[in-house]
Structure 1
């Protein structure tokens, strides 16, 4: 279930992180794994301000793989973008993330979607995330918590991007 957030937060300064997985590893299910991952944010200096509900979608490019569970959180942190990515990497590692084959099933995928209005290649870190705007499994959850967030490159809202996404069109909120 999406959480409410303080409407005084300036969406121009918002930091968004997407979570996803389709390999439950030793957890009971993917939802349990993602909930446990969220619990690791605070010890890494990442405060969750708002979170979407969980969304389900078929694996891509091979829909015979287990389906994905995805969500988005709005966070506050003292980390700069690179330090935030390092913290997210530590969380992924703690959950057994292995980078083998591109698009292989994974226990945890954490992506920095946007860091305020930063745009461009910051020493190998591209912001906003270069493919997020086309992905319903990212923009749908983001639109749940910040429908009026304006994408700094696309110049349109999260809700509009979710409505016109071209990847992960089967993505739907879980009950």
Structure 2
């Protein structure tokens, strides 16, 4: 059975093949097709770094329709991050690629490795702004608010 996922994308380091962070996100939006069907792509925005990150981020979002359950999709996203050159490092540090499952058509999911909805997405304009462009009517199963309503609160 197919599920829909809202995926947040971020990059703030150049890639040796794809180049600038915006170009990394454009490339990964194509690569996401390996995990399902990309039914919507948000415009890419620039956002300020958080925590110890030093460089400006490029952020985007995609809606992915996939046969994978949440843990299998997470594993696929983590493989994709590594394939694009992501290495383990400091939380909030600079990275070539960051992919997060924000929402899922199945509602909530909780395991040691994964929480859906993403724990911090409600306070992050760099997630809600691109997500609102493609999934504004999607609802947070915890608050009951739409992505558009959550974005308006920031």
Q: Tell me the TM-score normalised to structure 1 length.
A: 0.81
- SS of residue paired to 2:60: strand
Q: Deviations over 1:54-81 (max 9, x none)?
A: 0111101247x11000011111000000
Q: How many residues align structurally?
A: 151
Equivalents in 2 of 1:118, 1:160: separation in Å? 18
Counterpart for residue 173 of structure 1: none
Counterpart for residue 87 of structure 1: 76
Which segments of structure 1 move beyond 2 Å, counting only runs of 4 or more?
none
Q: Does 1:159 align with 2:140?
A: no
Specify which of 113, 129, 133 is matched with residue 144 of structure 1.
133
**CA RMSD of the aligned region, Å?**
1.5
Equivalents in 2 of 1:163, 1:101: separation in Å? 31
Structure 1 residue 132, shift from structure 2 partner: 0.7
Counterpart for residue 39 of structure 1: 30
Equivalents in 2 of 1:19, 1:39: separation in Å? 12
Gaps of 5+ in 1: 1-12, 166-175
- SS of residue paired to 2:107: coil
- SS of residue paired to 1:103: coil
Structure 1 residue 120, shift from structure 2 partner: 4.2
Equivalents in 2 of 1:16, 1:127: separation in Å? 10
Specify which of 23, 26, 30 is matched with residue 13 of structure 2.
23
Q: Deviations over 1:116-173 (max 9, x none)?
A: 14324234311111111111111111111122211111211111111213xxxxxxxx
Decide whether the 8 Å contact of 1:117 with 1:152 is kept in 2: no
Decide whether the 8 Å contact of 2:51 with 2:93 is kept in 1: no
Q: Tell me the TM-score normalised to structure 2 length.
A: 0.91
Counterpart for residue 59 of structure 1: 49
